[in-house]
């Protein structure tokens, strides 16, 4: 029987990746492991690309995560005290460049509300103690427990149209905060905006900690790394330092793992389930590979 489909000559080339994926799942996987294997097989057969596979696996991961797994810890929260004057809290907003700030009383266990940086724009140059009050501008704070499922929280973020929640432990103490961006990054990877350091600026990607230790963003290109440290790592197989180090491990490492390449020890300081994000580099010898002194 003839086929009138104009795409028949190309097989399934006319189908969306979603349709192709449903075709792969026709065997009805019985477990999460089987489902992951099918997704990997779909990529191997070019039914989906690498980015699509990572995104699907990210969705599966989110379904198993609790808020405590992805929250920004209490120690890293940037807060504003409700008793601070304009001249006290405005430098905090300018320096940190966040879009939302928990407003607290006395300490981080007493969150009174959330300040949106955009709400300050309407005051312009008239933001004085006489016309401005944090109590009038701040929004209500949303409180969620550490044990809340991340996928459930994402649905609440979307349906209620809020972007930040304060996370509390079983005793009611504040243990951190979580944003909708934190959840989305678990699915699609790191999201950078205009205020993030640009990947092609090695001065932002490489920060000196001591005479022989450096903090390195994993997305730093090998070319920039070689130029900074006067090294000669090959960039034929990998473009970034993160890819080079992962290859050196032979597996995707977790935070705390170390590997020595040349005369340098690379320690993973931050990584998720899909990629290395931050590294600490120690120079094992002063005779070779040391960068020139910073200006």
The domain spanning residue 231 has which CATH number? Answer: 3.30.465.10
Angle at which helices 241-249 and 222-229 pack, to 10 degrees? 90
Let me know whether 172 and 73 are in one domain: yes
CATH of the domain at 84: 3.10.580.10
Q: Where are the alpha helices (DSSP H) in 197-276?
A: 202-205, 222-229, 241-249
Let me know whether 156 and 97 are in one domain: yes
Let me know whether 38 and 90 are in one domain: no
Let me know whether 138 and 75 are in one domain: yes
Pick from 211, 289, 280, 291: which is nearest to 245 by CA?
Answer: 280
Determine the structural domain holding residue 45 and report its residue range: 15-62
Provide Rg for the chain, Cα atoms: 24
Range with the poorest average pLDDT among 36-50, 87-101, 161-175, 274-288: 274-288
In angstroms, the CA 181 to CA 4 distance is: 46
Let me know whether 174 and 113 are in one domain: yes
Let me know whether 45 and 73 are in one domain: no
Residue 291 lies in a domain: no
Confidence at residue 123, expressed as pLDDT on a 0 to 100 scale: 79
Let me know whether 38 and 129 are in one domain: no
Of 62, 90, 118, the last residue of a domain is 62
pTM recorded for the entire structure: 0.57
Residue 44 lies in a domain: yes
Residue 239 lies in a domain: yes
Range with the poorest average pLDDT among 11-20, 113-122, 124-133: 11-20
Of 135, 163, 188, the last residue of a domain is 188
Let me know whether 89 and 166 are in one domain: yes
Percent of the chain topping pLDDT 70:
78
Q: How many domains does the chain have?
A: 3
Let me know whether 38 and 130 are in one domain: no
Let me know whether 90 and 161 are in one domain: yes
Let me know whether 129 and 237 are in one domain: no
- Residue 139: pLDDT above 90? yes
């Amino acid at each position: 029987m003839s086929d009138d489909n104009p795409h028949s000559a190309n097989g399934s080339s006319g189908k969306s990746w979603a349709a192709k994926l449903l075709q792969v799942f026709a065997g009805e996987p019985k477990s999460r492991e089987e489902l992951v294997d099918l997704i990997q097989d779909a990529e191997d057969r070019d039914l989906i690309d690498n980015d699509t596979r990572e995104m699907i696996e990210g969705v599966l991961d989110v379904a198993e995560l609790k808020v405590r797994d992805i929250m920004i810890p209490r120690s890293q929260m940037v807060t504003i005290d409700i008793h601070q004057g304009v001249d006290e809290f405005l430098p905090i907003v300018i320096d940190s460049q966040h879009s939302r700030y928990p407003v607290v009383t006395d300490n981080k266990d007493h969150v009174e509300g959330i300040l949106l940086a955009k709400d300050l724009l309407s005051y312009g140059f008239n933001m004085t103690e006489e016309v401005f009050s944090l109590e009038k501008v701040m929004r209500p704070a949303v409180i969620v427990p550490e044990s809340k499922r991340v996928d459930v929280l994402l649905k609440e973020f979307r349906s209620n149209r809020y972007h930040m929640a304060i996370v509390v432990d079983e005793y009611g103490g504040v243990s951190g905060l979580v944003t909708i961006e934190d959840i989305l990054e678990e699915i699609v990877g790191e999201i950078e905006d205009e205020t993030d350091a640009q990947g092609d600026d090695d001065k932002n990607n490489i920060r000196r900690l001591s005479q022989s230790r450096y903090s390195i963003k994993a997305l730093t290109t090998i070319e920039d790394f070689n130029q900074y440290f006067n090294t000669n790592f090959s960039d034929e197989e990998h473009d970034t330092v993160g890819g080079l180090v992962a290859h050196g491990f032979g597996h995707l490492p977790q935070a705390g793992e170390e590997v020595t390449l040349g005369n340098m020890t690379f320690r993973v300081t931050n990584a998720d389930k899909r990629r290395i994000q931050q590294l600490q580099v120690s120079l094992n010898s002063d005779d070779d590979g040391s960068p020139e002194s910073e200006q």
